[in-house]
């Protein structure tokens, strides 16, 4: 006979909602303006208020999946519970924005094809959270963090919306585009060849498949990057490679490079200097070569006198959420908490 166990003594509860974004409405890429929202909220007294940590999802993931249990891993919810229980971080609201697109994810930047993803977070979501949850208002109580595309997104939010966040953590974030993307652009040539180079025909076909292969995931990712880095509104987006000859279109590639943190940092020095915590890390065997980008980025931060904490650890790109044990306490330490 089964025995009912008492509820576990959790410090947090999960709230799931749907929100509608005017800023995403009507984008040519068909990204739904109705977005799921997942929030981890401390179980406290009604008068208590908390800092807010915005967790941005990596590519091929989404906000709604960030708190899910996984085998052989500690979930983000369990990690936050443990770090709070042990005093490594103070109780905080964790917000998981969901801006997943049919390409496989979001880069959390504005695109005139896929919509204003960065603006949605900064100009809509933050005010919604601070109005509807027990959040301490203001930049002094806000942080953003993530891995891969999520780390890139956190860094871009700090660069593009100065004074909005006090702390960010970029784990294995996209940077050093010459090594990250350029070598794989030829996959677009092979993938689109079956469709005479027509992107729309390829997308229509691949989105009908019952199962995606690894090559299609790669091609969709590259097309998604074009949709964020080189959009052209209702006309779609430009590709940085001629899919017939394999020649790089330098004008389009330069548009991609303008999004590379290694390039963008040159014009965002003062924005990054406003942060109380700028955390960067990457594994030293990253299969996308992001550790080389991180090393170059660190040198630029040092040259510009931008305070930061940078780490390189022995691992590759995958399954590195355990590094949140390092970054979350550092961010929590500098955020304003209720006294």
Q: Which residues pair with 96 in a beta bridge?
A: 38
Tell me how far apart the alpha carbons of residues 22 and 239 are, in angstroms, rounded to a whole number: 28
Tell me how far apart the alpha carbons of residues 202 and 241 are, in angstroms, rounded to a whole number: 16
Q: Which residues contact 265 (CB under 8 A, 6 or more apart)?
A: 159, 272, 297, 300, 301, 304
The label of the residue with tokens 């915005």 reads 54
**Overall size of the chain counted in residues:** 339
* Per-residue exposure over 250-273, b if at least 16 CB sit within 10 Å of its own CB, e if not: eebbebbbebbbbbbbeebeebbe
Tell me how far apart the alpha carbons of residues 54 and 40 are, in angstroms, rounded to a whole number: 10
Tell me how far apart the alpha carbons of residues 243 and 192 are, in angstroms, rounded to a whole number: 7
CA distances from 204 to 72, 154, 232, 234, 314 (A): 36, 32, 19, 17, 41
pLDDT at 5: 64
Tell me how far apart the alpha carbons of residues 169 and 173 are, in angstroms, rounded to a whole number: 9
CA end-to-end span of the chain: 48
Q: What angle do CA 270, 111, 99 make, to 5 degrees?
A: 95
CA distances from 135 to 44, 81, 85, 139 (A): 12, 18, 20, 11
Q: Is 294 helix (H, G, I), strand (E, B) or coil?
A: helix
The structure tokens listed for 288 are 């996308």
The structure tokens listed for 201 are 């025909």
Which residues of the chain have a pLDDT value below 70? Answer: 5-8, 339
Q: Which residues contact 169 (CB under 8 A, 6 or more apart)?
A: 143, 144, 145, 146, 151, 154, 277, 279, 280, 281, 324, 327, 328, 330, 331
**Residue ranges per structural domain of the chain:** 12-176+262-334, 180-257
Domain made up of 12-176+262-334: CATH architecture? 3-Layer(aba) Sandwich (3.40)
């Amino acid at each position: 006979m089964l025995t009912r166990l008492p509820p576990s003594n959790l410090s947090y509860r999960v709230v799931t909602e749907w929100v509608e974004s005017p800023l995403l409405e009507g984008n040519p890429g068909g990204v739904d303006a109705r977005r799921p929202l997942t929030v981890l909220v401390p179980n406290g007294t009604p008068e208590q208020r908390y800092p807010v940590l915005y967790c941005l999802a990596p590519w091929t993931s989404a906000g709604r999946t960030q708190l899910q249990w996984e085998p052989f891993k500690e979930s983000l919810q369990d990690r936050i519970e443990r770090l709070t229980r042990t005093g490594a971080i103070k109780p905080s609201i964790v917000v998981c924005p969901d801006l997943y697109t049919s390409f496989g994810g979001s880069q959390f930047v504005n695109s005139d094809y896929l919509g204003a993803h960065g603006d949605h977070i900064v100009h809509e979501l933050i005010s919604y959270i601070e109005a509807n949850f027990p959040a301490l208002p203001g930049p002094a109580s806000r942080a953003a963090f993530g891995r891969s595309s999520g780390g890139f997104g956190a860094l871009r939010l700090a660069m593009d919306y100065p004074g909005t966040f006090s702390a960010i953590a970029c784990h294995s974030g996209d940077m050093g585009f010459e090594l990250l993307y350029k070598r794989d652009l030829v996959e677009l040539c092979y993938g689109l060849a079956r469709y005479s180079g027509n992107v729309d025909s390829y997308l229509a076909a691949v989105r009908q498949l019952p199962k995606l292969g690894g090559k299609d995931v790669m091609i969709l990712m590259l097309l998604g990057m074009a949709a964020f880095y080189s959009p052209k509104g209702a006309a779609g987006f430009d590709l940085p490679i001629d899919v017939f000859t394999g020649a790089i279109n330098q004008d389009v590639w330069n548009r991609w490079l303008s999004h590379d943190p290694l390039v963008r940092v040159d014009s965002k020095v003062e924005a990054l200097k406003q942060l109380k915590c700028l955390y960067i890390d990457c594994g030293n065997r990253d299969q996308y070569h992001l550790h080389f980008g991180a090393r170059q980025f660190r040198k630029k931060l040092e040259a510009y006198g931008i305070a930061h904490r940078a780490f390189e650890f022995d691992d590759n790109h995958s399954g590195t959420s355990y590094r949140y044990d390092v970054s979350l306490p550092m961010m929590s330490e500098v955020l304003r908490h209720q006294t």
